[in-house]
Structure formats: C-alpha cells, structure tokens
Amino acid sequence: MRSLLFSGVAALLLAAVPGTAAVTVKKSDYAKLPDGSTVSQFTVTNAKGMEAKIISWGGVLVSLKTPDRTGKLGDVVLGHDSLADYRADTGTYFGALIGRYANRIGGAKFTLDGKTYKLPVNDNANSLHGGILGFDKRNWAARAVANGVELALTSKDGEEGYPGTLKVVVTYTLTDDNALRIHYTATTDKNTIVNLSNHSYWNLKGEGDVLGHLVTINADKFTPVDGGLIPTGELKPVDGTPFDFRKPTTPGARINQADEQLTRGKGYDHNWVLNRTGKGLELAARVAEPTTGRTMEVFTDQPGVQFYTGNFLNGSVKGKGGKPMNQRTALCLETQHYPDSPNKPSFPSAELKVGEKYDTTTEFRFSAR
Ligand code: GLA
C-alpha cells in the first residue's frame, strides 16, 4: 500500500519537475458527486505554455489555452464553470467524450448477427450520442500518465441497449509542438458497435461567433440527411453545393443560403466523407481565425467528421462566466464513423468483434500565423 502510494506520488512529481519532462501533469479535485465520489481535474501544460484541463466526469476537455499570433494564450473551447452546470446541461455535450455511439442511430435500433437491439430514443425518433446515460455522463477512472491523462470505463453488457461488456480507455496527451492528441481504445466480450468521439466546441477567437473562421474540410463528398438528420445513404459530391469546403471558406459565406440540407440541419450539422489515402492520421479539417491568427488542424484515422455550427445553442445554455451561448458561438469537428452506420451496410462498418481492438486517434494541432 505504502509503496503503491509512493509510486503514484512520485510519478506525479516526476512529471511536474521542470527539466525532467517538458509536459507537466497536475491532478486536483474538481468537485464531488452527490454519492460522495470525487471528480478529478488534470491540468496538462507543455513547454510553450499551452494548457489543457480535463475532468474525469464525461472526460470533458473544460479548457484549452493556445497562443495567438502575439503569443497571448486564450481559451478556445466552450464549457461551463462548475460540475453542477455540466450535469444540468443535457443537450450540448460541451467538450465531452461521446460513446458508445457518437452521433445518431436511426429509429433507435440496429440489427447485429441477426438480433435487433433497441436503444434509448433521445433525438426525434433516433438515438443520439450513446443514449440517455452516455459516456459523457459517467465519472471515468482517471490517472495522470506521461504528457496527459488516461481515462477508463467499463460499459456493461446491455447498458443503454448495446450488447457486450465494453472496456474503454481514452488518453488525452499534449505534445510540445502544440498538439492535443486523443487516443481511444476499446475491447468487447460480445460483438457490438462502437463509435467514440470528442464533442469540443471550438471558437479560436475565444469570443463572438465563428461565422468568420476560415474552414477547410478535406472531403469531396458528404452524407445528406433526412428531416431527422439521419443520412439517406447517399454519398453526395460537395461540388457546387454550400458543403464544398475544399478551399478555405467561412461558414458565414453560405450558411443562410436557400438549401434543403442547410434547412434540415438549421445550418451545418452533417458528416463529411473524408478523402483518405491510407490508414494512418490524415488531415480532416483546418480552421483559421483571421483576427487572432490561431489555426487548428484536425488529423484523424476515422472515415468521417461531423461539422456542426452550434445550431441548437439558443441562448438558454450559459457558458463560462454565465454568458449565454448562442447559435454559431462555436463549431464542432467530431471525428467519427458516419452516423447510422449500423443500419447502412454500404457505409464503413462500426462493428467491433470479440477479440478485436478498437483503436483510433485524433489530433488537434495548433499554430498561429
Ligand atoms: C451533434 C449533433 C447535433 C447536436 C449536437 C449536440 O453535433 O450532430 O445535431 O445534437 O451534437 O447538441
């Protein structure tokens, strides 16, 4: 016991002593849950001063401070000021880890190996972001590791309707060249489906709206949706549509254009089919904010990315400092399998079989120019 305790403390100190590691990790208590358990916070700082704060509840990235072109640090993610506010907000998923299935499953059901599984209905007739008690509402087992934090949870067989005991481990790490890396792994004891993501809301200016952010998405096609935001199954070329972000374009340029897909999404809330050449990390999207010079590049090994312009924020949700969060206050780039893949045999499969390992990485790389 004593040596265990000692090695834990030593590991933390080692990571925090300047000179022994460029990235430091500090653990603190964030809040208590009603059952008395502790929600921990991990502050991860790199040699350049970039700082990420992650809490064990929902694995939420509560703040991320990155330099602008003058070197000034600013927080580029939306969030809340307290655990109570995170817990009271059931609709935005600010900064959280999403699972077991990020995004929508049409009709809140799917069939696997001949058996149909029913999921909680929480978005029209569909199941969104893992159901009522998704991974965003769990207090993960969390510990400091080199350059970041490791979060683990076990999702029981049948939890939120999904088959198989799923063991999930997610690590957030910071690099000295200003990248935040999220590595997700999972294994199961019954064939199941998995699609994990992070639901950060980015605003590289740190205030105002994101209509003037320059967005590039590395995709020739997107998946158009029906009225319930479920993909129709078509992979539609972006060419000649407001969904063409192959060259840097602001969301504001076309978001109010008369377009059936934009109307259905109340703006951009769609999955782009990423152009991919291999299996490793490839560029999914780039966001450049002209006034601060901050640029974020998203690299992933996933087949899709949901580009969402905060369309459901309507001022009733308060963000940091109690400020009302309105439509277009931020944008999300959720790397993922395409929505409703379990019901779309033509989409890349989101199935995880017994004996396989789900293993995926997304990196958010920051710079300023
Ligand atoms: C995702 C969905 C949106 C919305 C947000 C959370 O981005 O695609 O429709 O549900 O999550 O508010």
30 secondary structure, DSSP code: E
pLDDT of residue 14: 43
Task: Domain count for the chain, please give it.
Answer: 1
- Residues belonging to the active site: 199, 334
Ligand 1 neighbourhood includes 128 CB (under 6 angstroms): yes
Please list the alpha-helical segments (H only) found in the chain: 2-16, 83-88, 260-265
| Residue range of the domain that includes 290 | 1-369
Rounded to an integer, what distance in angstroms lies between the CA atom of residue 313 and that of residue 309? 9
Residue nearest to atom 5 of ligand 1 (CA): 92
> What is the whole-number distance in angstroms between the Cα of residue 295 and the centre of ligand 1?
23
Written as one letter, the residue type at 72 is K
Ligand 1 neighbourhood includes 269 CB (under 6 angstroms): yes
> What is the whole-number distance in angstroms between the Cα of residue 313 and the centre of ligand 1?
10
pLDDT of residue 202: 98
Phi–psi pair at 225, nearest 5 degrees: -120, 160
Rounded to an integer, what distance in angstroms lies between the CA atom of residue 105 and that of residue 218? 25
Question: Which tokens in the block code for residue 269?
Answer: 């809330």
Rounded to an integer, what distance in angstroms lies between the CA atom of residue 121 and that of residue 346? 24
Give me the residues of the chain with pLDDT under 50, please: 1-20
| CA nearest neighbour of 195 among 166, 217, 171, 173 | 166
The residues, ordered by sequence, that sit 6+ positions from 345 with a Cβ below 8 Å of its Cβ are: none
Ligand 1 neighbourhood includes 306 CB (under 6 angstroms): yes
> What is the whole-number distance in angstroms between the Cα of residue 15 and the centre of ligand 1?
36
Ligand 1 neighbourhood includes 91 CB (under 6 angstroms): yes
pLDDT of residue 8: 43
pLDDT of residue 190: 98
CATH number of the structural domain spanning residue 204:
2.70.98.10
pLDDT of residue 3: 41
Residue nearest to atom 6 of ligand 1 (CA): 92
pLDDT of residue 5: 43
Give the number of the atom of ligand 1 that is nearest the alpha carbon of residue 313. 12
> What is the whole-number distance in angstroms between the Cα of residue 212 and the centre of ligand 1?
21
Ligand 1 neighbourhood includes 332 CB (under 6 angstroms): yes
Written as one letter, the residue type at 84 is A
